[in-house]
A and B are shown apart, each in its own frame.
Chain A
Amino acid sequence: DAKTTQPPSMDCAEGRAANLPCNHSTISGNEYVYWYRQIHSQGPQYIIHGLKNNETNEMASLIITEDRKSSTLILPHATLRDTAVYYCIVRASNTNAGKSTFGDGTTLTVKP
């Protein structure tokens, strides 16, 4: 799986959009981008994933650049409960689902 690079920490004001970047410059054509988050004292929680088109669900939006070398997770209206560590993972469609490679993620702090 391709390696990902994320900033170690970010702050966001409550009610504003949180934009979390991820660099995956060595991504291959069959590799998807996944985002998970881990709230303190809990296990990681799936947020969203995509291949090349932008994706949106009830939790977030995922914007993938045209060259697929980077992506941004957008939380449109951050709340205090969105404070967590956010992990960007790249995984091929033919890779065993259980073998996810996590980096150290981005710690997002939402402030009142």
Chain B
Amino acid sequence: ETGVTQSPTHLIKTRGQQVTLRCSSQSGHNTVSWYQQALGQGPQFIFQYYREEENGRGNFPPRFSGLQFPNYSSELNVNALELDDSALYLCASSPGLAGLNIQYFGAGTRLSVL
């Protein structure tokens, strides 16, 4: 148990739809990162939020967007879903930006796009 919770656990959408995934960070953690993990591959960094501001982004198009709330929980929004968006989406929280901080991951949301 990492204290990071994600919802929903599973989701099925059709191409072109929009989806919102949610993450509740571990208590005391003000930094949340989102990752996409395709089947058989390692997680790929999407973006990070620190104190409600986006702080770094990976190689993902603008239709991937996010929010962080005052309680440091976060949302990942994906517009105009494509078949290749099917993946496990992971949220990780840490107690700050410092490089030595350890990330704690949630169990993920499995998104299937049909």
Q: Which residues of chain A from 1 to 32 have any CB-CB distance to chain B below 8 Å in the complex? A: 32
In whole angstroms, how far apart are the Cα atoms of A101 and B35 in the complex? 10
**Neighbour of A96 across the interface among B90, B97, B107, CB < 8 A:** B97
* CB of A65 closer than 8 Å to a CB of B: no
Interface of B: prevailing SS: loop
Interface residues on A, range: 20 to 34
* CB of A104 closer than 8 Å to a CB of B: yes
Which stretch (A66-74, A76-84, A86-94) binds chain B? A86-94
**Neighbour of B103 across the interface among A32, A97, A105, CB < 8 A:** A97
In whole angstroms, how far apart are the Cα atoms of A98 and B51 in the complex? 13
Are the CB atoms of B103 and A100 closer together than 8 Å?
yes
The smallest beta-carbon distance between A57 and chain B, in angstroms, is 12
The answer to whether A99 and B33 touch (CB under 8 A), given A41-B107, A46-B104, A91-B99, is: yes
Are the CB atoms of A102 and B33 closer together than 8 Å?
no
Task: Look across to chain B and name the residue whose beta carbon is closest to the beta carbon of A51.
Answer: B100
Residues of chain A lying within 8 A (CB to CB) of residue B40 = 104
The smallest beta-carbon distance between A4 and chain B, in angstroms, is 10
Are the CB atoms of A43 and B100 closer together than 8 Å?
no
Are the CB atoms of B43 and A102 closer together than 8 Å?
yes
Residues of chain B lying within 8 A (CB to CB) of residue A105 = 42
In whole angstroms, how far apart are the Cα atoms of A44 and B43 in the complex? 9
Residues of chain A lying within 8 A (CB to CB) of residue B107 = 41-43
In whole angstroms, how far apart are the Cα atoms of A45 and B90 in the complex? 12
Residues of chain A lying within 8 A (CB to CB) of residue B105 = 43-45
* CB of B4 closer than 8 Å to a CB of A: yes
In whole angstroms, how far apart are the Cα atoms of A41 and B105 in the complex? 12
* CB of B65 closer than 8 Å to a CB of A: no
Residues of chain B lying within 8 A (CB to CB) of residue A100 = 33, 43, 45, 103
